Amino acid sequence: MESLIPLLLLAVGFVALILGANWLVNGASSIGVRAKLSPLIIGLTIVAFGTSLPEMIVNIFSCAKGSPGLAIGNIIGSNTMNILLILGVSSMIWPIDVSRVSIRRDIPAGFIATLAITLMANDFFTGSACTVNWMDGIALLLMGFAYLLLTVLKNDPLEEIEDVQTAMPWGKTIISLVVGIAGLYIGGELVSRNAQVLARNWGMSEGTIGLTVVATATSLPELITSIVAALKKNSGIAIGNVLGSNIMNIFMVLGVSALITPLPFEPMMNHQLMILFAANVLMLLLVFIGNGRKIGRWEGALLALGYIGFMWFSLAMQ
C-alpha cells in the first residue's frame, strides 16, 4: 500500500514527460520550418531527439538528485525494448523493409554505440571503478555528432521525407514550447523522485528499476511512433525511429548524463548488455532471412518473445 501513491505519481510523471516532449518537438519543429531548415535537418535533430527526450530528462534529474544508478539501466532497457518489443510489434503489424543505408550505416552505428558503452562501463579505457565518467561522456557526444554529420553528408537526395510539419502561428508555437518545457520538468521531477522511493520499497537496485519500469515507460514515444508508422504501412519510419533512438540514447543521452556526474555501473548488468548485443545481432540476421531485406511477422513475433525473456531474466537476476 505504501507504494501505491509513488506508483501513481510515477505514472503521472511519465504522462507529463511524453506529452511535454510532444509539445516541445512540435514547437521546435515550427521554429525550424520558419527558419527555413530543411526537412532532413529538422527530422535528424529536433524530431529524432524528441523521442529520446524522456530518457534524457529522467537521466538528468536522476543524476542531479544523486541517483545516477538509474541512468545506464534506463538506456540499456530502453534500447533492448526498442529492438525486441517495438520492432517486433511493428513488424507483426506490417512487415518492415530495411533500406540499404540502414544496413550500411545505422545498424553498424548501433553496434558501435553498444560496444562503446560496454567498454566504458567496464573500465576498459580509464579504469575508473565501473563508472562512466566525464571523459567517457565527451567521447560519446563526439561519436554522436560524428554520426549526425555522416547522416547529413550521406543522405540520399532521392529519399522521400514524409510527414513534414508546417509552421504554426507564433502564439501557438510559444505556448507549445512553454507547455512542453513545463511538462518535461514536472515529469522528470516526479519520475526521478518516485523511482527512488519504489526502488527502496521493493528492495530493488536503481539499475534494475531503470532496466524495467523506467525504461519501459520512457520508450512509450518510440512505441507509439513505430506502431502508427506500421499501421500506415510506413516501415521506413518504424525502423528508422528504433535505430535512431538507440544511437541517440547512448551517444547523446548517456553522454550528457556522464558530464553531470559519474554514472556507476552494476557489473551484473553485463548480462543485459550481452542481451542487447544479441538483440542487435538477431535483428541483423532476421533482415537477411526470407525474401529481400525484410523483417516479417514471424520474425517480429520472435523478437517480441525475446523481450519477454529479457524482462523475466532482469527481474529474476535481482
Cα separation, 25 vs 51, in Å, equals 9
* pLDDT of 38 strictly over 70: no
Three-state secondary structure call for residue 52: coil
Q: Which of 82-91, 177-186, 223-232 has the lowest mean pLDDT?
A: 223-232
pTM: 0.81
How is residue 94 annotated by DSSP?
A: S
**Residue 169: left if φ>0, alpha if ψ -120 to 50, beta else—which one?**
beta
By CB atoms closer than 10 A (0-12, 13-18, 19+), residue 217 is: buried
CB within 8 A of 86, min separation 6: which ones? 219, 222, 223, 226, 227, 242
**Which tens digits make up the pLDDT trace of 14-30?**
888 888 878 887 887 78
| Confidence at residue 106, expressed as pLDDT on a 0 to 100 scale | 85
Helix 220-231 crosses helix 4-34 at what angle (to 10 degrees)?
A: 60
Cα separation, 315 vs 286, in Å, equals 27
How is residue 210 annotated by DSSP?
A: I
User: The domain that contains 238 carries what CATH number?
Assistant: 1.20.1420.30
**Which tens digits make up the pLDDT trace of 169-207?**
888 888 988 898 888 888 888 887 888 788 778 887 778
Torsion of CA 68, 69, 74, 76, to 10 degrees: 120
* pLDDT of 312 strictly over 80: yes
| Confidence at residue 264, expressed as pLDDT on a 0 to 100 scale | 87
Residue 9 dihedral angles phi and psi, to the nearest 5°? -65, -35
Cα separation, 83 vs 303, in Å, equals 8
- Report the Cα–Cα distance between both ends of the chain, in Å, rounded: 22
| Confidence at residue 161, expressed as pLDDT on a 0 to 100 scale | 46
- Please tell me which residue, 74 or 291, carries the higher pLDDT value: 74
Confidence tier at 158 by pLDDT (50, 70, 90)? very low
The total of other beta-carbon atoms located within 10 Å of residue 289's CB is 12
Q: Which three cell numbers stand for residue 232?
A: 500506415
Cα separation, 154 vs 143, in Å, equals 16
| Confidence at residue 55, expressed as pLDDT on a 0 to 100 scale | 84
* pLDDT of 162 strictly over 50: no
**Which tens digits make up the pLDDT trace of 94-147?**
888 887 777 888 889 999 999 999 999 887 655 555 788 899 999 999 999 998
* pLDDT of 37 strictly over 90: no
Q: Which three cell numbers stand for residue 118?
A: 560496454
- Please tell me which residue, 215 or 240, carries the higher pLDDT value: 215
Instruction: Determine the structural domain holding residue 34 and report its residue range.
Output: 4-316
Q: Which three cell numbers stand for residue 90?
A: 511493428
Q: Which of 96-105, 141-150, 157-166, 276-285 has the lowest mean pLDDT?
A: 157-166
Q: What percent of the chain has pLDDT over 90?
A: 23
**Which tens digits make up the pLDDT trace of 286-308?**
887 766 678 888 889 999 999 99
Residue recorded with cell 516541445 = 24
- Please tell me which residue, 80 or 187, carries the higher pLDDT value: 80
Mean pLDDT of the chain: 82
SS3 per-residue string spanning 242-294: HHHHHHHHHHHHHHHHHHHCCEECCHHHHHHHHHHHHHHHHHHHHHCCCCCCE
How many domains is the chain built from?
Answer: 1
CB within 8 A of 200, min separation 6: which ones? none
Q: Which three cell numbers stand for residue 315?
A: 527481474
Helix (H) or strand (E) holding 165: none
| Confidence at residue 125, expressed as pLDDT on a 0 to 100 scale | 55
Three-state secondary structure call for residue 295: strand
Measured between alpha carbons, how far is residue 2 from residues 171, 212, 222 in Å?
A: 43, 20, 31
Residue 295 dihedral angles phi and psi, to the nearest 5°? -110, 110
